[in-house]
Copies of this chain bind each other. A is one copy, B any other.
Amino acid sequence: MKLKLKNLNWSAGRPVAILHEKLADNKSINVNDRIIIKKGRKSIVAVVDTAAGLFKKNEIIVSTEVLKTLKAKKKELVEIELALKPESISLIYKKLEGNRLKRKEYEEIMRDIANNSLTETEIAFFVSAVYNNSMDIKETADLTRALVNTGQNLKLKNVVDKHSIGGIPGRLTPIIIPICASAGLIMPKTSSRAITTPAGTADAIECLARVDFSIPEVEKITRQTGACMVWGGSLNLAPADDKIIRVERVLNLDPEAQLLASIMAKKISVNAKHVLIDIPYGENAKVNKSQAKSLAKKFKKLGKIFKIKIKCILTKVNEPLGNGIGPSLEIKDVLKVLRREDSCHLLEKNALIISGKILELTKKARRGTGIKLAREILESGKAFKKFIEIIKAQKGKLKKIQLAKFSKTIRASRNGRIKEINIKKINQLAKILGCPVDKAAGIYLYKHLNDKIKKGDSLLTLYSESKEELSHGLNFYKKLKPIDLG
């Protein structure tokens, strides 16, 4: 049946369509049913709402998410038909019951996630299923391949990549990439937005430049500058994965098999031949030491299956790497390191270690000399020059980073020494303040582990775009005490 698009500029965060009540009744279509909307050769699955008033029976209101996919404008005609309940729902049930799925079955689930046939609620059941049932390497590789198959690939050659399993505030990537690209490596770095932390690399870079590019644009930027630092989500590298990550974020979940498959799928899609994986571990990091070792082993195995040279670095981390927590505050730290104004606590040190290992893995430096070469590149100013070059190629420029409207500095109530900075609680606090959606929100830490404190010293400043969030953040701080003065 053909319907005319009525435009409402309606962003619903997911593909939804409003049908006229009478039309829906006539056609036995119910609220929450799924319909396929087609325009020419493009199509998308959307969830149905119904309404009456403000529009006619032969019209359809769709959310901007639908318009974008169909590349449609108002008053254009679209074709709709009822979408049947996808059979992959029974496969999700099968996994939740603890059964092993085959590659074809993962491909069916991933295809249905990628084309919106599964709702977020159904994806949540899939995430839980993977979270609760361990998977061996063969099954993880099947899931990886299924993720890769839902998306596009980069055509670049000799690609080198790095990845951090994250969890620790502080952006290493925007320091590492310019260093390695200055040494001649090809590094089209795609990053996710924040999953379990207040800021992802893409969120931070976006404070200075665009991060949403198409595949040909990424290829062009990389050919021009040797590297890029973009958001993977706009590249359609593994669209099912991006949707899964969005659901994981609801509960800050990151099941091991899904994490392995997600990372490997992105590396395969960018055609990487060498990959360095940074696995920070610690009491309050995403993983502990034994989990970190297990991950490293599995990455190695997956690397063999997919013919990618993988090196893992395990680093013990007990506190935020820099002073800032939140997209704007973290990119400020990066700029200080690149400009040689401040080492920003552990940020410079860890960036140099990882850059050194990448240079050794790719034979740009002999074993044991990578870190020296990395330091030379950073100190010479070459890395900062390369950073500016990449930012410009990404339609951005250096500018003063604005912080959020409302702020509050918390001071020490007595003398002491910083005994603990609980990363999980600090991350939670930054999210309460509005991160990562509000880029300029977050936390500035004045002190680090083992620093001596005098009564009245500034401990941290909270930044937020709304008064409510700021006062909620303060309450949270008082209740959960993320910083322990011993």
A82 touches B468 (CB 8 A): yes
Q: Give the docked Cα–Cα distance between A434 and B29 (Å).
A: 10
A132: interface (CB < 8 Å): yes
B92 touches A11 (CB 8 A): no
Interface stretch, picked from A117-125, A213-221, A278-286, A452-460, is A117-125
Interface stretch, picked from A178-186, A187-195, A246-254, is A246-254
Within 8 A of B (CB), among A70-101: 81-82, 84-85, 89, 92-93, 96
Assuming the A-B contacts A122-B251, A128-B96, A251-B125, are A8 and B82 also in contact, with contact meaning beta carbons closer than 8 angstroms in the complex? no
Q: Nearest-CB distance from A273 to chain B (Å)?
A: 37
Interface stretch, picked from A44-52, A165-173, A202-210, is A44-52
A251 touches B50 (CB 8 A): no
B251 touches A92 (CB 8 A): yes
A30: interface (CB < 8 Å): yes
| Closest B residue by C-beta to A405 | B28
Within 8 A of B (CB), among A307-353: none
Q: Give the docked Cα–Cα distance between A81 and B437 (Å).
A: 18
Q: Give the docked Cα–Cα distance between A125 and B85 (Å).
A: 21
Assuming the A-B contacts A8-B54, A51-B9, A466-B82, are A132 and B128 also in contact, with contact meaning beta carbons closer than 8 angstroms in the complex? yes
A13: interface (CB < 8 Å): yes
Name the contact of A21 in the complex, choosing from B9, B434, B437 (C-beta under 8 A).
B9
Q: Mark A30-65, 1 if CB is under 8 A from B, else 0.
A: 111000000000000000011111100000000100
A93 touches B251 (CB 8 A): yes
Assuming the A-B contacts A96-B131, A466-B82, are A434 and B250 also in contact, with contact meaning beta carbons closer than 8 angstroms in the complex? no
B96 touches A251 (CB 8 A): yes
Assuming the A-B contacts A63-B49, A128-B132, A132-B128, are A96 and B253 also in contact, with contact meaning beta carbons closer than 8 angstroms in the complex? yes
B89 touches A121 (CB 8 A): no
Q: Nearest-CB distance from A56 to chain B (Å)?
A: 13
A18: interface (CB < 8 Å): yes
| Closest B residue by C-beta to A9 | B52
| Closest B residue by C-beta to A120 | B121
A438: interface (CB < 8 Å): yes
A129: interface (CB < 8 Å): yes
Q: Nearest-CB distance from A93 to chain B (Å)?
A: 5
Contacts of A468 in B (CB 8 A): 81-82, 84
A422: interface (CB < 8 Å): no
A12: interface (CB < 8 Å): yes
Among A9, A11, A127, the one with the most B-chain Cβ atoms within 10 Å of its Cβ is: A11
Q: Give the docked Cα–Cα distance between A85 and B84 (Å).
A: 33
Contacts of A431 in B (CB 8 A): 85
Q: Give the docked Cα–Cα distance between A472 and B54 (Å).
A: 35
Contacts of A125 in B (CB 8 A): 124, 127-128, 250-251, 253
Contacts of A127 in B (CB 8 A): 125
Q: Mark A130-152, 1 if CB is under 8 A from B, else 0.
A: 01100000000000000000000
Contacts of A128 in B (CB 8 A): 96, 124-125, 128-129, 131-132
A121 touches B247 (CB 8 A): yes
A288: interface (CB < 8 Å): no
B28 touches A121 (CB 8 A): no
6 inter-chain pairs at a CB distance below 8 angstroms, sorted by A residue, are A11-B49, A13-B49, A121-B123, A125-B128, A125-B253, A128-B132
